[in-house]
Amino acid sequence: STARTKEVLRPDTTTVTQPQHVWPTMTDDEWTKVEVQLKDLILQDYGRKNNVNTASLTQSEIRDIILGMEVAPPSQQRQQIAEIEKQARAQSQVTETTTRSTNIHGEEIITTTQTNYESASFASRSDWRQRAVNSETLHRRTEHVHTDSRDLGEEGITYVVPKNILRRFVAIADVRTQVAGFMYGSAPRDAPDVREVRCIVLPPQVGSQYDVKLPDALPS
């Protein structure tokens, strides 16, 4: 439930959310405990709604439930298995179906199929369309850039990043995969504490929703 989720994310009044942040500020150990509690909460909610003992769920089913996928309860799974077996028996009788279609170039295509799966259209279970649309609008996020300078001292180094470089770096990123790059620049003679960024180099990397791994050696 929403109320229980809020209790897990904010167990007491000492838990605060910093400005420009969506999630509360916690340590790594606290986030680990919150992750376990949220997982148990999601599984309990699924078991209560579908009258299923969560202890009987497989790791694959638990993963799909945590990711928000539709996982049918055992009773519906047995019904689906029976329907698949019925379709398999029906497909054992070979029948040909001829389909006539036209491609984008105006060419006529005639296709003959003997089974249902040959004529079935592809359906993706992921939200790749929405993800692609969000990635196309990443450059708009550079219109309002906020910098948290509360922890910076007066003697710290100031980095100056041109807006066109920042805009390009954000535009090539992804909404669910972390991207990292090496900044190269120079320091003006009259301002030794200032670093003017001239370019951002993207080395070969492996990124995920939680972190990104970079090479041990810097590019030459």
pLDDT confidence tier of residue 196, bands split at 50, 70 and 90: very high
Task: Mark 167-196 as b/e (b = at least 16 C-beta within 10 Å).
Answer: bebeeebeeeeeeebeeebeeeeeeeeebe
* Between 149 and 218, residue with greater pLDDT: 218
Query: Is pLDDT at 75 greater than 70 in this prediction?
Result: no
Two structure tokens written together for 215 = 């090479």
- How many Å apart are CA 18 and CA 13, to the nearest integer? 14
Q: What is the CATH number of domain 2-74?
A: 1.20.80.40
The whole-number pLDDT of residue 93 equals: 59
Answer for the pair 85, 77: CB distance below 8 angstroms, yes or no: no
Quick one: pLDDT at residue 198? Answer: 94
pLDDT for the residue 140 = 81
Q: Kindly report the average pLDDT of the chain as a whole number.
A: 80
Kindly indicate the confidence band of residue 142, based on its pLDDT and cuts at 50, 70 and 90: confident
Residue 65's Cβ-count burial label (10 Å; 0-12, 13-18, 19+) is: buried
Q: Which amino acid is at 163?
A: K
Residue predicted with more confidence, 211 or 57: 211
Report the DSSP pairing between strands 194-201 and 182-186.
Answer: antiparallel
Q: Where do the structural domains in the chain lie, given as residue ranges?
A: 2-74, 128-213
The residue among 37 and 10 whose pLDDT is bigger is 37
Say if residues 9 and 34 touch (Cβ distance below 8 Å): yes
pLDDT band at 76; cut points 50, 70, 90: low
Q: Tell whether the model's pLDDT for residue 118 goes beyond 60.
A: no
Task: Tell me what pLDDT residue 179 has.
Answer: 93
pLDDT of residue 175: 83
